[in-house]
Amino acid sequence: MKVFASTVKFTTITLLATSLLGFSCGNSNAKKTTDSTAATKTEATPAPSFSKLLSEKEFNELFPQRDKFYTYAAFIKAADELAKIKVQVTRRAVSVYQFIRTDKSTGKATTVRQDADWNEAWAKQKPDSTYMVDYGAFCTAGDATTNKRELAAFFAQIAHETRHGQNETYTDGLMLIHEANTSLNYISDNDEYPPVAGQKYYGRGPIQLSYNGNYGYASDCIFGDKKILLNNPGLVETDPVVAFKTAIYFWMTPETRKPSAHDVMTGKWQPSATDKAKGRTPGFGMTILIVNGELECNKGENNYSMKDRIGFYQFFLKKLGVTDPNCACSCGKMEPYKY
């Protein structure tokens, strides 16, 4: 929770509890099965540096009051390194998962998670749901305008999550490294990603990653090893490259019921009949629903936090030299997803 100059209180993504990355919690009745064998090999696909899309001068102008922790160099390194990774997520039944993580620079694909019930007959009877998360598509999947809109949306979300200054100036993003109250543990029951004794999983980094389940899932995708962030969640507030990676990871990775913010901003996601009935439409407002829908969406047009995110988006669009004239920017009439 953060308090700003106006004394308005904001509840960040840290309060989403287990709803954040709902599918990351795994099967509550399953035991972990480790399978670190290489799955396949694919050709390496080198990508240009993200620095070609955003200069240091532009970054500095977007975040003039940022904490010195959040450097341009760290952001570029995070984007470039994570661009080498893609993860195939397959789900059987409701919550039985297999993750195959590929390092595109070497072509090596490794199974980093396979739940104990994966090969059970009852699980195999259920249709598999498979999708690929290619982190190299971050702000690069569309034309120049689409990519800049996506970057503006990403920056708007992380700026709001980390702002600490004067309201409606939109220059005070990337100021907070962790949430104000670090006494809370943010621990939940999770067989796949159990908490480590003595560690706290409060909100850290640009997207305020929280809860052991989300730290473990992020660690599997980013490092190919859940233990790295479960054992040391403090890396997200001491290593700026890791911090930015967690934000990009969250932006790119769908949840059980929610699309990824990336898919929304690039037009890949299209609402189902159920989504339409609940007011969910493509646009920046849908990314607010993904990030903090339970607290900010379906509450009309005067929710301050929602309006602040929209203000940041419009500010960054202008700074990046693009517009979004048909933006469905509000989530005021969008019904949040239920778990």
Count CB-CB contacts under 10 A for residue 103: 15
**Which of 171, 178, 176 is CA-nearest to residue 156?**
171
User: Active-site residue 161, yes or no?
Assistant: yes
Q: Where are the beta strands (DSSP E) in 167-326?
A: none
Contact 178, 69 (CB under 8 A): no
Distance CA(93)–CA(115), nearest Å, equals 12
- The one catalytic residue in 161, 179, 237, 296 is 161
Contact 93, 123 (CB under 8 A): yes
Give the DSSP letter of residue 95: T
How is residue 332 written in tokens?
A: 């005021």
How is residue 251 written in tokens?
A: 């932006």
Give me Rg for the CA atoms of the chain: 19
Number of H helices, E strands in the chain: 12, 8
The helix (run of H) or strand (run of E) holding residue 115 is strand 108-115
DSSP, collapsed to helix, strand or coil, labels residue 2 as: strand
Sign of CA dihedral 79, 17, 190, 92: negative
The catalytic residues are 161
